[in-house]
């Protein structure tokens, strides 16, 4: 009986507990059972997952010290994510899953209020997981839930702060500023230190987002002074220092960077090193001497702990050396910075840009161009820095092109002028240099192969040890990790350029220059092919088929032959020298280089079209030089002037020199000629424009007016010969004058023309409501055209205000009299009849053709009126 009573009592207690666990029962037991289940099960695991995700963010995030650091280390993508698909980190997915599970199993929302004291933490975990997963709108919903349904929660202020953090990510900065200021003001007595620090830091970031540096500085400084976490303190004080520097408060900025430096090993090393860098950027040459600054740089450079930051340290030292005019030292340290690492592409871009600038100032324009090319690949696409460096490179494009052309031509012509023996000796010396370079490559490959062998040996030893350890089993709680390479791909033969180069050299030394085909080696099967040297290197045999590049005849046979070929090379050389003279004089204001190129050109006895402008440019530079008191410059200028006037008296250059103070005939200057041809274009004399432009392009060869004349001719060609001629003209200008403004304009027009879709097939006209009446007119019959213009006005008015007329250019032989404004072909026939009967004083030139406006555009683009008359009845 007692047993039955005890059993009944146990069953009753169990039922009582189960009833108390109901999520709808607001009892002490129910609340606490659900709270314990929430905290020690789902929330615990969820917070572990969240922390793992934060650790991943911390490990992968790279601060950009070129700008003010953000308060929070988080790289936010541009797009706003709402969906849970394509998550950034599975840890945040797990954290969200645990938070949702806690809510689903343990939430006790009774009468509009959440009574489980742990559910607020579940929603905070849910909001943070979504926040770091960059799904900010769902994250905002989670924080708002806490604020709406759990007003008594001890997480209420933290929920408000996180809500505003999320608002900032959604670019609602003004809302975040207003709410955070209200929170700090109203809860100043109750707010905890951690909450106050986070609120101030978040408010600082919100002000930074709206570019209010002074306000951001106030709250960032407050957060920095209150935090006790050393890493956070180092970051906040560093940001405060940056803000003071941006606000122009140099002393306060330096004081904050000094505070960061004083923290030393208590903070991450990157803050410590970059605090020194920021102080150096704010240096005062009055307070600190050059020797003191060099001492700071040397200490930073020599400290082994700073090795990961040697790139930025060396870069800043290079800048400093430039400021004290130690250019060679600056170049050395710029290069040291490049060798120190490639972790910061922006830094590398700055270094290449600086080296390019130094090369440019030293008139090494081709070298500068190469540096600017390297810089552009390091900067972000379409960034301000990339656009600036590309512009610098484009300004050098012509110099690099023509310098390369002149060197190539000079080299070829000098070799051609040598005797046979001198050419053989020249190329034999070149071959010896080639062998030396290849031997250096082979030596480098041997060193890399030896290093690879050592790595493989070390890896084999580690793997053997690991194998033994695996059999014995690791110590309790320990894990075994390979400390060797994680992949053998890095040691694969074809991944090492120097090794590949060495292999090619050895193959060619043994087998010669073999074609890639079956049985490639049969022709060389000979037991005497290989002669092993005592040092083990492989060399070519006496009767072996040496690679062509090792024989002087290989190069000599490829030299240009014949007077026509040599004249062509000489002409290209002369043109390159002239263009270089003009560019150095006009674009880069380097008269010394311009004079050198022009005077060298004169020694080649160039054609008159280059000779005259060369003499004139030398006269101008000599005259300008004589203004500085140089008698030699004056004498040279007078000599060039005398040559032009005496030997070429009828030229425009002689006219200018003989009338320096008089009113010149500007119609014969390049601009005057262009203006005259342009007037012909405005008058629609397109054939004359093309003919005159062609003549003047030859006459003014090398003059900057040439691209403009080419473009004017292209416009006229398009009107006369159609779309194809227009497109070909634009392509020619874009390819031949790429660095000029006209060339760039032509490139844009050519790209637009490519996108322009104009069908060549005629469209059906049944549904058309706009027709034209077209008569063909002999383009050469100016009298007829003038009579038509004179006599058509009255009949056109009589037909109504919608009827107009024009005489359009069609081809060089034909113009078109076009009557506009008819909605149907029947109306066009009526107009044709009326004109035939009422046009007085002139006879219409041909039978009219009624054509829709769409098809008229096609015939003008493709010059296909005859095709239309055949295809369309």
According to DSSP, the residues that pair with 539 across neighbouring strands are 531
**pLDDT averaged over 10-residue windows placed end to end, the chain, 873 residues:** 51 44 47 45 83 90 91 80 64 88 70 67 91 92 90 89 94 94 83 91 95 93 90 93 92 92 92 92 68 85 91 92 90 93 90 93 89 93 90 86 89 90 89 85 79 71 52 37 37 46 57 56 41 37 60 87 88 89 84 91 88 88 69 84 89 75 55 89 88 80 82 90 87 73 86 77 88 88 81 83 86 88 90 85 84 89 86 69
Residue 793: the pLDDT is: 82
Alpha helices for 210-268 (secondary structure H): 213-226, 230-246, 250-263
Please report, for residues 263, 373, 503, 548, the alpha-carbon distance to residue 437 in angstroms, rounded to integers and kept in the order given. Answer: 51, 25, 15, 17
Residue 59: the pLDDT is: 86
State the Rg of the chain over Cα: 42
Residue 873: the pLDDT is: 61
In the three-class reduction of DSSP (H, G, I as helix; E, B as strand; rest coil), residue 496 is classed as coil
Contacts of 487 (CB under 8 A, 6+ apart): none
- The dihedral region occupied by 530, where left means phi > 0, alpha psi between -120 and 50, and beta the remainder, is beta
Which residue carries 């030229």 as its tokens? 651
Nearest to 276 by CA among 248, 307, 297: 297
What does the alpha-carbon distance between residue 342 and residue 319 come to, in Å, rounded to a whole number? 19
Residue 557: the pLDDT is: 87
CA atoms within 13 A on the CB side of 254: 10
- Cβ density class 359-386: b for 16+ within 10 Å, e for less: bbeeeebebbbbbbbbbbebbeeeeebb
Nearest to 576 by CA among 697, 398, 740, 744: 398
What does the alpha-carbon distance between residue 156 and residue 511 come to, in Å, rounded to a whole number? 82
CB atoms within 10 A of CB 81: 17
Whole-structure pTM over 0.75, yes or no? no
Residue 114: the pLDDT is: 62
Residue 537: the pLDDT is: 39
- Our CA dihedral for 791, 796, 798, 800, rounded to 10 degrees, sits at -170
DSSP H or E segment with residue 664? none
Residue 336: the pLDDT is: 93
């Amino acid at each position: 009986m007692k047993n039955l009573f005890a059993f009944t009592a146990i069953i009753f207690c169990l039922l009582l507990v189960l009833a108390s666990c109901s999520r709808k029962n607001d009892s002490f037991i129910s609340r606490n059972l659900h709270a314990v289940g929430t905290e020690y099960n789902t929330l615990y695991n969820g917070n572990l997952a969240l922390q793992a995700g934060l650790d991943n963010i911390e490990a992968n995030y790279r601060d950009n010290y070129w700008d003010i650091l953000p308060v929070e280390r988080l790289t936010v993508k541009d797009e706003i994510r709402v969906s849970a698909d394509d998550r950034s980190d599975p840890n945040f997915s797990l954290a969200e899953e645990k938070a949702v599970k806690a809510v689903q199993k343990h939430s006790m929302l009774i009468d509009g209020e959440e009574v489980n004291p742990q559910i607020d933490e579940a929603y905070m975990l849910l909001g943070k997981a979504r926040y770091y997963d960059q799904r900010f709108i769902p994250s905002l919903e989670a924080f708002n839930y806490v604020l709406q349904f759990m007003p008594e929660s001890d997480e209420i202020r933290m929920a408000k702060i996180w809500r505003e953090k999320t608002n900032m990510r959604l670019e609602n900065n003004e809302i975040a500023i207003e709410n955070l200021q209200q929170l700090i003001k109203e809860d100043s007595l109750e707010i905890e230190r951690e909450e106050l620090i986070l609120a101030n830091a978040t408010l600082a970031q919100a002000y930074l987002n709206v570019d209010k540096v002074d306000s951001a500085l106030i709250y960032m400084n407050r957060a920095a002074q209150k935090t006790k976490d050393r890493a956070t303190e180092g970051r906040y004080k560093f940001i405060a220092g940056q803000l003071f520097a941006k606000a122009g408060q140099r002393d306060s900025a330096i004081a904050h960077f000094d505070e960061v430096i004083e923290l030393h090993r208590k903070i991450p090393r990157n803050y410590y090193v970059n605090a020194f860098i920021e102080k150096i950027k704010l240096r005062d040459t009055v307070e600190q001497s050059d020797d003191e600054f060099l001492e700071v740089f040397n200490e930073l450079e020599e400290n082994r702990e700073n090795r990961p930051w040697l790139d930025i340290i060396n870069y800043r030292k290079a800048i400093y050396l430039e400021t004290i005019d130690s250019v060679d030292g600056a170049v050395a340290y710029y290069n040291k910075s490049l060798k120190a690492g490639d972790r910061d592409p922006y830094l590398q871009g700055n270094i290449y840009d600086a080296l390019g600038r130094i090369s440019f100032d030293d008139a090494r324009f081709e070298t500068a161009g190469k540096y600017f090319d390297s810089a552009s690949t390091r900067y972000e696409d379409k960034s301000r820095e990339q656009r600036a460096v590309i512009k610098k490179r484009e300004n050098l494009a012509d110099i690099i092109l023509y310098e390369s052309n002149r060197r190539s031509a000079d080299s070829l012509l000098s070799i051609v002028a040598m005797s046979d023996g001198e050419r053989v000796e020249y190329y034999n010396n070149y071959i010896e240099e080639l062998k030396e370079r290849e031997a250096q490559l082979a030596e480098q490959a041997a060193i890399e192969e030896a290093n690879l062998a050592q790595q493989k040996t070390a890896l084999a030893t580690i793997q053997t040890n690991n194998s033994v350890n695996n059999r014995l089993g690791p110590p309790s709680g320990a894990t075994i990790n390979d400390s060797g390479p994680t992949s053998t791909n890095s040691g694969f033969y074809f991944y090492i350029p120097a090794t590949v180069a060495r292999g090619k050299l050895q193959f060619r030394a043994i087998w010669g220059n073999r074609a890639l085909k079956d049985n490639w080696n049969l022709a060389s099967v000979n037991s005497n092919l290989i002669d092993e040297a005592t040092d083990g290197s492989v060399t070519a045999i006496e009767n072996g088929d040496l690679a062509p590049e090792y024989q002087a005849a290989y190069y000599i046979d490829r030299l240009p032959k014949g007077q026509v070929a040599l004249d062509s090379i000489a002409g290209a050389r002369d043109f390159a020298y002239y263009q270089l003279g003009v560019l150095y004089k006009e674009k880069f204001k380097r008269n010394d280089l311009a004079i050198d190129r022009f005077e060298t050109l004169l020694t080649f006895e160039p054609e008159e079209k280059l000779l005259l402008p060369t003499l004139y440019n030398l006269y101008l530079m000599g005259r300008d030089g004589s203004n500085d008191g140089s008698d030699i410059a004056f004498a040279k200028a007078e000599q060039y002037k005398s040559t032009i006037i005496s030997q070429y008296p009828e030229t425009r250059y002689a006219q200018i020199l003989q009338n320096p103070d008089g009113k010149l005939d500007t119609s014969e200057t390049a601009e005057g000629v262009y203006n005259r041809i342009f007037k012909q274009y405005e008058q629609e004399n397109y054939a004359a424009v093309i003919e005159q432009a062609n003549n003047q392009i030859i006459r003014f060869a090398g003059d900057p007016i040439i691209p403009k004349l080419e473009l004017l001719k292209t416009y006229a060609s398009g009107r006369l010969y159609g779309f194809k001629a227009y497109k070909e003209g634009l392509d020619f200008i874009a390819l031949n004058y790429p660095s000029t403004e006209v060339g760039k304009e032509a490139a844009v027009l050519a790209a637009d023309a490519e996108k322009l879709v104009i069908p060549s097939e005629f469209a059906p006209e049944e549904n058309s409501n706009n027709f034209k009446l077209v008569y063909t007119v002999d383009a050469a019959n100016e009298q007829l055209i003038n009579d038509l213009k004179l006599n058509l006005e009255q009949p056109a008015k009589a037909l109504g205000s919608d009827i107009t007329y024009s005489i359009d250019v069609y081809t060089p032989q034909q113009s078109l009299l076009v009557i506009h404004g008819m909605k149907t072909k029947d109306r066009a026939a009526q107009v044709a009849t009326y004109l035939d009967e009422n046009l007085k004083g002139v006879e219409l030139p041909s039978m009219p053709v009624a054509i829709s406006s769409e098809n008229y555009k096609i015939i003008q683009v493709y010059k296909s009126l005859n095709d239309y008359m055949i295809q369309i009845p």
